Structure 1
Amino acid sequence: MILRGIAQVDFQSSPWTGLVFLVALFAGGWQFGVFGLLGTVAATVTARLFGVSWSERVAPGLEGFCGTLIGVGLVLYLDVRWMTVLLVIFGAAAGSVLTSALNVLLKPYDLPAFTAPFCVVTTAVVIGGSAFSRVGVVPASAAAASGTELSWTHLWQGTLNGVGQVFFQDQWYVGLIFLAGLVIAGWRLGVVALVSSLAGLATGWVLGAQAADLAAGLYGYNSVLTGLALFGTFVVATPVSALYALLGVVAAAGFSAGIGALFAVVAGHTLTWPFVLVTWVFLAAVPMLSRIRRA
């Protein structure tokens, strides 16, 4: 159940995929593995305690993945300390309640909550953390200004980092482990993730993004989630839906810069907001599109 919660970050219910994802988190740093597990457990236990459906939600891991991201995100932005432990536990618990609330609100539109609870909780904690002396948000590093010339190294590392950045990881070998976890669930998933990450990177390059940001996967990870969601997971995979998904992938990458600039004003972060908003729009449009069908 816990491993499935980790795997559900990328819409997978395989515990083996979740195990590989967990290995990848520890490869990125012990703190990411520990706090990712802590967030997953806290969110899952909260859902179980309050009586969320076991068979439909808890057992498949659907109540754990936002907790995973809350744990990894908060330890990245707040560093390792006891206050971070408390914030991850209570943040994941609040994220579980918010997940239920959003599922109720979005049910008439047949839209999942996706990672919106994680985005809301993490944004609130990071932005509000500066007001509390015992929280202490880690200052954001200065943006790299390496120019827009894209090298082969930028290209292949950025493509793999786009897969890893779904979990806030920017080491290409960690992204490769995450990719292996997806391939375990199905080789087509690995292809979709790679193509989506590359398309997001290409979108950023065409628009003139900094090469260092492209190499770090910052324009790929929202595209990865969008591609996985719109091709085979929530939309039936067909040649036409492949084009539809590609449009969503490009939109998510382009939207990333706008969201990032917006939240930078209040010391926030892009997170997976572009994926959530773009995918909601694309799924909401499906009933009007006769050649696109929900899975």
Structure 2
Amino acid sequence: MNGSLTEPRTPAPAQPASFVQEVLRGVAQVDFMPHAVTGIFFIGALAAAGWEFALYGLLGSVVGTATAYAFGIDRTLVSAGLRGFNGTLVALSFAVFLGARHLSTVLLAIGGCITVVVITSALATILGTWDIPTFTMPFCIMASVMTVAAPNFSRVWHGGPDLAALPKPAVDTTALDWEQLWHGFFANFGQIFFMPQWYVGLVFLAGITVASRVAAAMACVGSAVALFVAWAMGSPAKGVSEGLMGYNSVLVAMALCGVFLVTGGWSFGYAVLGAAAATGLTTAMAAFFAPFGGHTFTWPFVLTSLVFVAAVPAIPRLRRT
């Protein structure tokens, strides 16, 4: 997921993957997994939250993948799902914030998914100079522009739910109980796709496990670290139980141990440190975006991973994959 490390400038030979497989891999690549079966699990998880979310998730990957084909983007990138996952997240964000059952949302989501392919290519060109992935930065840029701008347009803004904003501590200062903790543990996986239900998160975790037990273990580590840090800092119980404090940490833990860094003891510790940093940054980013109506999305994951991956060449104990 989150962009190739270097972007070829000429198309590679065609690979024997079907368009359907590539679309499903695009959905799965949201959590770094280039596996069509994982994509099926993820679509199932979205359907458990609402059939319209499953359709938008598929729509995003279909449009992103088809656009990459139309642009002649390297087939190996498309086949791995690396031009579909940002589209999946963009389409879902439009559905969540603008309302899924509006024609204007469908049209804007399609336009956003096409545009995010261009943004991805631009960022890959820039970041590829330093061998840094794009992560979900293209999605974050597209979704941030949408949430800030949309309320100013009466034909497209329908007062969508504020699922990505963290509750303010002054509103919710209750202590975390056991039920909230275990709900939060699983909701951390679902909130990557904007879904706060713990059972939806459980299906996402199952999908990751099908592709990689190591990745699933690191996802669980990231979720547990986020819960501990959130509890230690006295984070709002409601936000923790809905996964709003932990989804970025899940992605960081997976990225820093097994995806972009070789799995090992040092990378494991590095991933734990990164997950803790992402948890703290989540609150800071929420406060930063709040005054002008923006949302955290996966910005904490992107910024944390950029710094930690960029530092690897200067740390002899760590190795890139």
TM-score normalised by L of structure 2:
0.89
Task: Kindly indicate whether the alpha-carbon contact (under 8 Å) linking 1:37 and 1:68 is maintained by their aligned counterparts in 2.
Answer: yes
Which residue pairs with 1:138 in the alignment? 160
Q: Which amino acid aligns with 1:269?
A: H
Which residue pairs with 1:194 in the alignment? 220
The 2-side partners of 1:225 and 1:139 are apart by 24
Which residue pairs with 1:182 in the alignment? 208
The 1-side partners of 2:82 and 2:187 are apart by 25
Unmatched runs of 5 consecutive residues or more in structure 2: 1-21
- Identify which of 201, 209, 223 aligns with 2:249: 223
Which residue pairs with 2:66 in the alignment? 45
- Is 2:180 the partner of 1:160? no
- Secondary structure, in 3 states, of the residue corresponding to 1:224? helix
Task: Kindly indicate whether the alpha-carbon contact (under 8 Å) linking 2:214 and 2:258 is maintained by their aligned counterparts in 1.
Answer: no
Taking the TM superposition and a 5 Å limit, the aligned residue runs for 1:118-133 are 118-133=139-154
- Secondary structure, in 3 states, of the residue corresponding to 1:24? helix
- Identify which of 194, 197, 207 aligns with 1:171: 197
Q: Percent identity among equivalent residues?
A: 45
Shift of 1:148: 4.0
- Is 2:79 the partner of 1:59? yes
- Identify which of 257, 262, 280 aligns with 1:254: 280
Q: Which amino acid aligns with 2:23?
A: I
Which residue pairs with 1:79 in the alignment? 99
Shift of 1:191: 1.4
- Secondary structure, in 3 states, of the residue corresponding to 2:257? helix
The 2-side partners of 1:233 and 1:148 are apart by 37
Change (3 A) 1:8 1:139: closer
TM-align CA RMSD: 1.2
Tell me which moved more, 2-11 or 203-212. Answer: 203-212
Deviations 1:73-107 (A, max 9, x none): 11000002011001110001000000000000001
Taking the TM superposition and a 5 Å limit, the aligned residue runs for 1:260-275 are 260-275=286-301
Q: Which amino acid aligns with 1:69?
A: L
Unmatched runs of 5 consecutive residues or more in structure 1: none
Shift of 1:139: 5.4
The 2-side partners of 1:158 and 1:280 are apart by 26
The 1-side partners of 2:161 and 2:25 are apart by 33
Aligned residues: 294
Deviations 1:37-94 (A, max 9, x none): 1111111111110110012x10110000000001111100000201100111000100
Which residue pairs with 2:17 in the alignment? none
Tell me which moved more, 31-40 or 9-18. Answer: 31-40
Structure 1 ranges of 4+ moved more than 6 A: none
Change (3 A) 1:139 1:8: closer
TM-score normalised by L of structure 1:
0.97
Deviations 1:175-195 (A, max 9, x none): 000000011012222211111
Which residue pairs with 2:23 in the alignment? 2
The 1-side partners of 2:153 and 2:58 are apart by 26
- Identify which of 13, 36, 49 aligns with 1:28: 49
Shift of 1:108: 1.2
The 1-side partners of 2:239 and 2:161 are apart by 18
Task: Kindly indicate whether the alpha-carbon contact (under 8 Å) linking 1:148 and 1:208 is maintained by their aligned counterparts in 2.
Answer: no
Shift of 1:140: 3.0
- Is 2:134 the partner of 1:95? no
Deviations 1:160-180 (A, max 9, x none): 000111111111110000000
Deviations 1:183-216 (A, max 9, x none): 1012222211111111112111111111111111
- Secondary structure, in 3 states, of the residue corresponding to 2:152? coil
Task: Kindly indicate whether the alpha-carbon contact (under 8 Å) linking 1:166 and 1:221 is maintained by their aligned counterparts in 2.
Answer: yes
The 2-side partners of 1:22 and 1:138 are apart by 22
Shift of 1:226: 0.4
The 2-side partners of 1:188 and 1:157 are apart by 22
- Identify which of 294, 299, 304 aligns with 1:278: 304
Q: Which amino acid aligns with 1:66?
A: N
